């Protein structure tokens, strides 16, 4: 039901290329940040051999990343994203097992142009979970 890890998202206070030593780790950044107004974020992806890192920066008023950075000013892991074949079927199965789906529960289009949903961290060991239909 849950497929491969699609990405780990890290909230960052600054989207400019970082200084060493993390610049080495994040050398394979996408060249252009992408604004996702519906999600209140600007994203930059870092490609790794087996997955991606999604760097998240606040976009617009009331961005969820702004609140996150208020608590963790130097940034931190924000969510993990798992792939699923059928996002509505996965949502319904997880809901039936007691998981809380954030927002109105309807998938929205995420950073890769595919439907995504977020699940409440209290139901997943304190980790915000994103599902993406692969």
Single out the segment in contact with Co ion by CB under 5 A; choices: 28-36, 60-68, 89-97, 124-132: 124-132
Contact pick of 58, 83, 130, 131 for Co ion (by CB under 5 A)? 130
Measured from the CB of residue 15, what is the shortest distance to Co ion in angstroms? Answer: 15
132 carries an active-site annotation: no
- Per CB under 5 A, 81 contacts Co ion: yes
Rounded-to-integer distance, Cα 124 and Cα 131, Å: 13
- Per CB under 5 A, 119 contacts Co ion: no
10 contacts 76 by C-beta, under 8 angstroms: yes
Single out the segment in contact with Co ion by CB under 5 A; choices: 14-22, 50-58, 68-76, 97-105: 50-58
* Residue in 54, 83, 130, 132 annotated catalytic: 130
- Per CB under 5 A, 9 contacts Co ion: yes
Question: Would you tell me which residues interact with Co ion (CB under 5 A)?
Answer: 9, 54, 81, 130
Residues taking part in catalysis: 130
């Amino acid at each position: 039901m849950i497929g491969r890890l699609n990405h780990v998202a890290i909230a960052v206070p600054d989207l400019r290329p970082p200084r060493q030593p993390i610049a080495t780790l994040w050398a394979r950044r996408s060249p252009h940040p992408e604004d996702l107004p519906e999600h209140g974020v600007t994203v930059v992806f870092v490609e790794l051999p087996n997955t991606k890192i999604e760097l998240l920066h606040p976009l617009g008023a009331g961005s969820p990343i702004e609140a996150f950075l208020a608590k963790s000013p130097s940034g931190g892991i924000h969510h993990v994203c798992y792939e699923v074949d059928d996002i509505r079927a996965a949502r319904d199965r997880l809901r039936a097992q007691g998981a809380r789906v954030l927002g109105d529960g309807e998938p929205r289009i995420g950073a890769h142009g595919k439907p995504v949903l977020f699940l409440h961290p209290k139901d997943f060991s304190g980790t915000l979970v994103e599902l993406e239909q692969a």
